[in-house]
Amino acid sequence: MEEWNRVIGINATGYFLCAQQAIRRMREQGKGGSIINVSSVASQAALGRGNLAYSVSKSAVNQMTRELAVEFAGKGIRVNAILPTHVLTPILQSIIDDPQFDSSKLMACWLKGIPINRLLEPDDVVGPVVFLASSAAAAVTGVLLPVDGGNLALSSTGSTVWPSET
């Protein structure tokens, strides 16, 4: 319960409180605006490996994104979310470097589900976020945008290579 409450508190309650304050300020200024939530591919497909609370909390972020988008669209407030796959952050790098894991097996496991055949770099999410924040996305609200190198598009039985190529 401790882990569940911590993760739900950060990813559901924390996002809600931030959105509440942002919307309050946007409405006071009367200018509208854009909220971009960071969800995860884990909100759309189960990861397993002990990620229950994380995946459920990110699913909550998705539904909150859609609900807020609908509720505040008429006030000029757009709400969207990006859904990245594994991003090579310092935390992920520390998992890769952890001696309890075989890093080559870990990378192989992750990369088999990412058609671009690499982990995302933090800069890979910048363009989609800039787009969603910009006037180029003036009519985009309630969108859950995968930024995942094709991860969600790949079937669990799919592959990026023909069997004869392996």
Residue-wise pLDDT tens digits, 114-161: 999 999 999 999 999 999 999 999 999 999 999 999 999 988 777 777
Catalytic residues: 54
pTM: 0.91
Residue 85 corresponds to which amino acid?
T
- Return the structure tokens found at 68: 């807020």
Structure confidence at residue 160 (pLDDT): 73
81 neighbors 36 (Cβ within 8 angstroms): yes
Residue-wise pLDDT tens digits, 75-85: 999 999 999 99
Q: For residue 166, is pLDDT > 70?
A: no
**What DSSP element (H or E) covers 83?**
strand 77-84
DSSP class of residue 87 equals B
Name the burial class of residue 44, with classes exposed (0-12), middle (13-18) and buried (19+) by CB atoms within 10 angstroms of its CB: middle
Length of the chain: 166
Half-sphere exposure of 24 (CA within 13 A, CB side): 6
